[in-house]
């Protein structure tokens, strides 16, 4: 059974073998474990000291740098020890075996260090999720978004809103409880509702940025579509500069949706190659076309490809699609006006296509700040908060007690974003995003 009182340990650095491995130990036995392994804990907290690491039988395991972080001034809020040793697999396994011999000491579960940081008030849920995103970040914009969230920028905004809701409720309830007191004037609620109107506008504007946050975090979805043999798979391979899709002269080679990632101007672009769109009775190809149509419907941008050396047979295109004429090294036969012409064979137009994708992305994503929501969980709770605030504002004929209850509901919805209230059922999901040792 997992006990929160156990002292936990895990490798918090990358997988071995590596130049250096960092073993982290957190809990009430951390100082005793470090003393046993290294002879004593460092005299100065948070400063590295070189020590020989030995088993309790005196067998030398390695020479390592050790650090000790007394709680609550540590990542988890508990006593934390770190052992920076050589990252050989045998060295790390030997230390694992030794740590397993200590009573009330066990290997950490996935995300357990971060969960203890949350439970001990060191980080809230938004900061925890930002930390998970920072570890997983692959592009510059993902890093910036994750840094804003993990460093508390977004939490500070939500906490300021929570304080305003709390103050508004307190003033209204004071007016209800003490209507005849001189220091609680009867018009005090008027100022509350003016501030709530401002708050509702701020939350609505914030929610308007949710699509931007989602694109930065999860990627800008670009789907390559078109008829068979239009050059979709060749273009995908050319854009990512490696062979992702099989390319043949046989129409209908691609039967499923293929996906790979691009980094354009620091943004993650998810590129999808799809089955050729045409009428067919072949069952496997029909399923591929169905999947292609599904992913097209969810795309942020569709690149619709046509072989410009052939006459165009398609009359309708997906809305806002970028129309790309392929095989521009061949004589043109189509009379259609294309947004871009490319030739994968000769490398023509590919740079212009990347620029066009980047421009379409920036037309949709132009954040003035990285303090924006990026998860469905955030959006759902913020929407509930806004709905409750609007209900309180737009019903002036209702009693003050009912309108104060609306503000309480808004406060609880907002509190669920940072983890202040009612989030127990979310914790396993959130911390499950982390690997062991985080």
The DSSP 8-state label assigned to residue 349 in this structure reads S
The CA distance from 280 to 225, in Å, is 16
Helix (H) or strand (E) holding 183: none
The CA distance from 51 to 65, in Å, is 6
Residues 222 and 355 in one domain: yes
The CATH number of residue 138's host domain is 1.20.120.430
437 within a domain of the structure (yes/no):
no
Residues 54 and 187 in one domain: no
The CATH number of residue 318's host domain is 3.40.50.300
188 within a domain of the structure (yes/no):
yes
Residue the block writes with tokens 């508390």: 152
**pLDDT score of 332:** 84
Residue finishing a domain among 316, 337, 364: 364
415 within a domain of the structure (yes/no):
yes
Residues 296 and 166 in one domain: no
Residues 139 and 269 in one domain: no
Residues 360 and 222 in one domain: yes
Residue 7 burial (10 A CB sphere; 0-12, 13-18, 19+): buried
Residue the block writes with tokens 């929570």: 162
pLDDT digits (tens, 9 = 90+) for 303-316: 999 888 887 766 67
Res 219 pLDDT > 90? yes
**pLDDT score of 253:** 52
Strands 60-69 and 80-87, sheet pairing: antiparallel
The CA distance from 368 to 416, in Å, is 25
Residues 304 and 226 in one domain: yes
Q: Average pLDDT for residues 413-428, to the nearest whole number?
A: 77
What secondary structure, in 3-state letters, does 254-294 show? CCCCEEEEEEECCEEEEEEECCCCCCCCCHHHHHHHHHHHH
**pLDDT score of 243:** 72
The CATH number of residue 36's host domain is 3.30.1360.120
Number of neighbouring beta carbons within 10 Å of residue 155: 22
Measure the N-to-C terminal CA separation of the chain; round to a whole number of Å.
20
Residue 297 sits at the vertex; the CA angle it makes with 295 and 300, to the nearest 5 degrees, is 85
Listed range (53-62, 90-99, 252-261) with the worst mean pLDDT? 252-261
Average pLDDT over the chain reads 87
438 within a domain of the structure (yes/no):
no
Residue finishing a domain among 315, 335, 364: 364
**pLDDT score of 161:** 95
Q: What is the dihedral of CA 228, 234, 240, 246, to 10 degrees?
A: 80
b/e 288-319 (16+ beta carbons within 10 angstroms → b) = bbebbeebbeebbbbbbbbbbebebeeeeebe
426 within a domain of the structure (yes/no):
yes
Residue finishing a domain among 364, 383, 404: 364
Res 240 pLDDT > 70? yes
Report CA 11 to chain centroid distance, whole Å. 23
Number of domains in the chain: 3
Residues 71 and 185 in one domain: no
Residues 71 and 11 in one domain: yes
Range of the domain at 71: 7-108
Residues 250 and 285 in one domain: yes
Question: Pick from 299, 340, 298, 304: which is nearest to 321 by CA?
Answer: 304
pLDDT-based confidence at residue 436 (cuts at 50, 70, 90): low
Residues 360 and 225 in one domain: yes
Please, which residues bridge with residue 22 across strands? Answer: 84
List all residues 6 or more positions away from 300 whose beta carbon is below 8 Å from its beta carbon.
215, 220, 221, 222, 360, 361, 364
Res 252 pLDDT > 60? no
The CA distance from 354 to 340, in Å, is 11
Strands 301-307 and 322-326, sheet pairing: parallel
Residues 356 and 386 in one domain: no
21 within a domain of the structure (yes/no):
yes
Q: Average pLDDT for residues 328-344, to the nearest whole number?
A: 88
Provide φ and ψ at 403, rounded to 5°: -70, -35
Report CA 119 to chain centroid distance, whole Å. 21
pLDDT digits (tens, 9 = 90+) for 140-173: 999 999 999 999 999 999 999 999 998 888 888 7
Question: Pick from 420, 383, 418, 421: which is nearest to 154 by CA?
Answer: 418
Higher pLDDT, 182 or 244: 244
Res 183 pLDDT > 60? no
pLDDT-based confidence at residue 249 (cuts at 50, 70, 90): low
Residues 330 and 349 in one domain: yes
Res 399 pLDDT > 50? yes
The CA distance from 97 to 56, in Å, is 12
53 within a domain of the structure (yes/no):
yes
What is this structure's pTM?
Answer: 0.83
184 within a domain of the structure (yes/no):
yes
pLDDT digits (tens, 9 = 90+) for 17-67: 999 999 999 999 999 999 999 999 999 999 999 999 999 999 999 999 999
Q: Average pLDDT for residues 90-102, to the nearest whole number?
A: 96
Report CA 130 to chain centroid distance, whole Å. 7
b/e 71-85 (16+ beta carbons within 10 angstroms → b) = beebbbbbbbbbbbb
The CA distance from 90 to 271, in Å, is 41
Higher pLDDT, 253 or 276: 276
Angle in degrees, 0-180, between the axes of helices 232-240 and 350-364, rounded to the nearest 10:
80
The CA distance from 186 to 225, in Å, is 64
List all residues 6 or more positions away from 79 whose beta carbon is below 8 Å from its beta carbon.
26, 27, 28, 30, 31, 68, 69, 70, 71
DSSP characters for 85-136? Answer: EEE-HHHHHHHHHHHTTSTTEEEPPTTHHHHHHHHTTSS-HHHHHHHHHHHH
Alpha helix stretches (DSSP H) within 298-397: 350-364, 376-393
What's the token pair of residue 229? 């043999």
pLDDT-based confidence at residue 194 (cuts at 50, 70, 90): very high
């Amino acid at each position: 059974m997992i006990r929160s009182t156990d002292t936990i340990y895990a490798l918090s650095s990358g997988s071995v073998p590596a130049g250096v491995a960092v073993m982290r130990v957190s809990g009430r036995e951390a100082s005793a474990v470090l003393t046993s392994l290294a002879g004593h804990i460092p005299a100065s907290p948070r400063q590295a000291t070189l020590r020989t690491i030995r088993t309790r039988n005196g067998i030398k395991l390695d020479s390592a740098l050790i650090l000790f972080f007394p709680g609550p001034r540590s990542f988890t809020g508990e006593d934390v020890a770190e052992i920076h040793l050589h990252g050989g697999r045998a060295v790390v396994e030997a230390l694992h075996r030794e740590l397993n011999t200590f009573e009330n000491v066990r290997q950490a579960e996935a995300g357990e260090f971060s969960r203890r940081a949350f439970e001990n008030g060191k980080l809230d849920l938004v900061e925890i999720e930002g930390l998970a995103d920072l570890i997983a970040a692959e592009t510059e914009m993902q890093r910036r978004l994750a840094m804003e969230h993990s460093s508390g920028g977004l939490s500070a905004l939500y906490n300021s809103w929570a304080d305003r809701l709390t103050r508004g409720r307190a003033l209204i309830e004071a007016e209800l409880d003490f209507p005849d007191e001189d220091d609680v004037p009867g018009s005090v609620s008027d100022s509350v509702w003016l501030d709530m109107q401002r708050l509702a506008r701020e939350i609505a504007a914030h929610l308007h940025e949710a699509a931007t946050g989602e694109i930065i975090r999860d990627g800008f979805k670009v789907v390559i579509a078109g008829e068979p043999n239009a050059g979709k798979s060749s273009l995908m391979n050319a854009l990512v500069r490696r062979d992702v899709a099989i390319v043949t002269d046989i129409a209908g080679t691609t039967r499923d949706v293929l996906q790979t990632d691009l980094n354009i101007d620091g943004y993650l672009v998810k590129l999808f190659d799809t089955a050729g769109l045409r009428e067919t009775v072949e069952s496997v190809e029909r399923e591929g076309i169905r999947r292609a149509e599904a992913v097209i419907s969810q795309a942020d941008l569709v690149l619709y490809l046509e072989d410009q050396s052939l006459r165009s047979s398609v009359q309708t295109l997906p809305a806002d699609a970028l129309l790309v004429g392929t095989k521009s090294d061949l004589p043109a036969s189509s009379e259609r006006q294309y947004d871009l012409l490319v030739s994968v064979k000769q490398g023509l137009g590919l740079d212009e296509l990347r620029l066009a994708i980047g421009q379409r992305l920036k037309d949709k994503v132009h954040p003035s700040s990285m303090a924006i929501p990026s998860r469905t969980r955030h959006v759902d709770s913020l929407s509930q908060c806004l709905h409750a605030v609007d209900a309180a504002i737009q019903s002036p004929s209702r009693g003050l007690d009912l309108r104060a209850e609306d503000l309480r509901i808004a406060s609880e919805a907002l509190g669920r974003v940072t983890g202040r209230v009612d989030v127990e059922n979310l914790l396993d999901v959130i911390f499950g995003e982390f690997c062991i040792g985080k």
